[in-house]
Amino acid sequence: MAVIVEAYHIQFKDSFLHREKMFPYKIALLIIVALSFLYINIYVYILLALIGIIHFLLIREYRIILYSLLIYIPPALLIVLVDYLAGTLSYRIVATLFFGYTSFIYILLFYATTPIQQLYKYLGRNVFTLSLLMLHNTVSELYEVIKSKKARGWEPGFNIYNHFLLVFEAIRITIMRIEEITTALRSRGID
């Protein structure tokens, strides 16, 4: 959750990656990462992940790197451990885990450094841009919920139940917003 909120904050900064001329570059990076799955090689994935991390370092966003590692490493180690104990650990599994982290970093980089206006300009209004807009709105609602709960003395800690409460609260607020928008559109005669 912290990594998404951190990416949300990065969207409002101004760096060389936020500039409009970098949009095709970021799309090219996403395509390269997607195509790298065809050539399963751990070294390629590590190199691509390091390049993605370097992009975050260049815009001085160190916490998102730490958060992404803290989110990705425990489940990846669990998968490796279970596969090792079952005797099914292979090069392909480890390579797929590295590919997963690499694509995670680049999706975060794209989301964190691409304002919604750039998406509309280059891609128009389609399912992809509207999905990112919905994600952006949901994350902003989640951030507001976190701020209000912290103002009342709430601390998330390591209790997973507290995090589920946040997610349910964000879903509830998002559903309320959707119902408000639906009512407003219906009152204007749009079905």
Residue (of 104, 19, 17) closest to 56 by Cα position = 17
**In this predicted structure, which of 11-20, 58-67, 162-171 has the lowest mean pLDDT?**
162-171
User: Contact, 173 vs 39, CB < 8 A?
Assistant: no
> Amino acid identity, residue 42?
I
pLDDT in tens, 100-139: 999 999 999 998 888 888 888 888 877 878 787 777 777 7
Q: Which residues contact 79 (CB under 8 A, 6 or more apart)?
A: 93, 97
How far is the C-alpha of 116 from the C-alpha of 37, rounded, in Å? 28
The reported pLDDT for the residue numbered 151 is 86
Mean pLDDT, rounded, for 21-47 = 90
How far is the C-alpha of 79 from the C-alpha of 73, rounded, in Å? 10
Give this prediction's pTM. Answer: 0.77
Look over the chain and give the mean of its residue pLDDT values, rounded to a whole number. Answer: 85
pLDDT in tens, 133-157: 777 777 787 778 778 878 888 777 7
User: Contact, 103 vs 33, CB < 8 A?
Assistant: yes
**Backbone phi and psi for residue 93, each to the nearest 5 degrees, phi listed first:** -65, -45
The reported pLDDT for the residue numbered 31 is 93
How far is the C-alpha of 121 from the C-alpha of 92, rounded, in Å? 39
Report the Cα–Cα distance between both ends of the chain, in Å, rounded. 34
